[in-house]
Amino acid sequence: MITNHQFDGTKWIDVVDATDDELAELDRDHGLGERTFDEARRRAARPTMQRFADHAYIVAFSGSLAEIDMYIGDNWFISVRRHDDEGREWDPAVALARVQRCGSSVTTGIMLATVLEELVDGYFDSTDVLEDQLEEIEDRIFRDPVENTRAEQQVQEELFAVRRKLLELRRAVMPLREVLSALLRREVASVDGDALIGLRDTFDKLLRAVDIVDELRELVGNAVDAHLAVMSNQMNAVMKQLTAWGSIVFGATLIAGIYGMNFQHMPELEWYFGYPFALGMMAVLSLSLYRVFRRRGWL
């Protein structure tokens, strides 16, 4: 679907889930050349920019990692976007409303700068969501050792899912610095004046987003280490309990084993109180060991 927005001599052409025929039509109408929409037909791996004789091609990603292919000329701006495998897409409504408020001063450079700023703002929304998820996982790690023991695999899966999302977000954020740097060096003639001022602010926001993503990746690594440490402590506690109970049972078993040996000449074999004495020794030894281990926190 193709939507045209006119602004006093400039136009914004928004294309959603374009077919090959629609892209070919745009190609013919603007004389963009054979290679122009090659990248629009397949998913890009990272943000990038290519410069041609009369236009520039820019790829960027939204906070939800939806791809936006942009083409900027002297008096036209084309955005090509599509739904990804998970049904996500970037909504340009906010950026379009901001461009409309500019009135007669709208240029294609302002359109591009506005779209890029909205995309960068979306990165902060994504990092906020991931940060909340990470805090919830950290609370579960230290909340209840019994619950963590039962849900160790689930916690690990969620931690690695957050790490994977951060890695994908970083791949979308980091290379965009190079694109913005090239635009700020005025390598695209259509980007000048107020557009450059807006891009400088966007570049500062992007640097903050990069720092936040790196900090969250470090926090995820710390959470993974903390989870492994909690699991190790739980295992040590279990081993202490098993050792303590084994020692308690060993004392009683030792006495029973000694008096169970089949020798004819053994003390106390014919003693009237031998049997209750042996049981008493087992009970006293077991209770003493239990209190010792209890005092040390092993039970």
Q: What residues does each domain of the chain span? A: 2-232, 233-295
pLDDT value at position 24? 76
233-295 matches 2-232 in CATH topology: yes
Domain 2-232 classification at class level:
mainly alpha
Q: pTM for the whole thing?
A: 0.74
pLDDT value at position 270? 72
Among all chains, which residue has been given the structure tokens 């992007």? 206
Cα-based distances in Å from 141 to 90, 245, 278 = 35, 28, 47
Look at the domain 233-295 and name its fold.
Answer: Methane Monooxygenase Hydroxylase; Chain G, domain 1 (1.20.58)
Helix (H, G, I), strand (E, B) or coil at 3: strand
pLDDT value at position 38? 64
pLDDT value at position 273? 74
pLDDT value at position 145? 55
pLDDT value at position 208? 93
Averaged over successive runs of 10 residues, the pLDDT of the chain (299 residues) comes to 78 81 76 62 76 84 86 86 70 84 80 91 91 84 60 77 88 90 87 87 92 89 75 73 76 76 70 75 79 74
pLDDT value at position 42? 64
- CA 91, 97, 100 angle in degrees (round to 5)? 135
Contacts of 240 (CB under 8 A, 6+ apart): 298
